[in-house]
Chains A and B, each alone.
Chain A
Amino acid sequence: DQQVKQNSPSLSVQEGRISILNCDYTNSMFDYFLWYKKYPAEGPTFLISISSIKDKNEDGRFTVFLNKSAKHLSLHIVPSQPGDSAVYFCAASVAGTASKLTFGTGTRLQVTL
């Protein structure tokens, strides 16, 4: 049972444009969401997070939007840069579970010149 889903396995965006990565979840107990960036054979690197009491969090070029009613979150990267090319995972956790994360399946972002 995949509680966190990223339905787009890959995305290609031109440099300078906006990248939008989507994530859907089914467990209404999730109250904290994170986005990680991952290169092959490396561990995930934290990008940005959002609590369920917010609907938007921004950090530099990265913005995460949360729509609780739709159980949907998205990561916006603008402007996209070639160095952003990686696999992006969204993850979610339930309060009181000691940061146990449930990961989505990942979206491979390719930023082209």
Chain B
Amino acid sequence: GAVVSQHPSRVICKSGTSVKIECRSLDFQATTMFWYRQFPKQSLMLMATSNEGSKATYEQGVEKDKFLINHASLTLSTLTVTSAHPEDSSFYICSARGVQGARRAFFGQGTRLTVV
């Protein structure tokens, strides 16, 4: 299957700082990327959908000013958690879809964010 690389795999930051997480499609061009969040022992919750070159579409309840998403190229999307707080501590996962109309997306390995 296609490869999606997410970096960093884990990060610890202080309250009030911002953290950037990168998601790269290594062997295909990702027209659409998705960002998910998973709390311990819970399901993956979709945060936002981003299409290359356009603004991200956020799910209800997700603060767009807090979770900044940039999809500047067909192989890279970034999620920036701004002014992080301990409650933002979570596991963040990206996925990428290549061909328009493809029904399957490929997932990155996830990023464990801990805000202290």
Which chain A residues border B91 with CB–CB below 8 Å? 41
Candidate in B4, B41, B43 with the most chain A CB atoms within 10 angstroms: B43
Complex CA gap A42/B66 in Å reads 24
Interface residues of B in 84-107 (CB under 8 A from A): 91, 93, 95, 97, 102-107
Asked whether A98 and B49 contact (CB < 8 A) given A46-B1, A49-B104, A106-B43, the answer is: yes
Q: Are A105 and B112 in contact (CB under 8 A)?
A: no
Question: Which of the four size classes fits the interface of chain B?
Answer: 20 to 34
Asked whether A41 and B34 contact (CB < 8 A) given A93-B103, A98-B49, A100-B46, the answer is: no
Specify the chain A residue showing the minimal Cβ separation from B4. A43
Which chain B residues border A25 with CB–CB below 8 Å? none
Q: Are A89 and B43 in contact (CB under 8 A)?
A: yes
Binding site for A on B (CB under 8 A): 1, 4, 6, 9-10, 32, 34, 36, 41-46, 49, 51, 91, 93, 95, 97, 102-110, 112
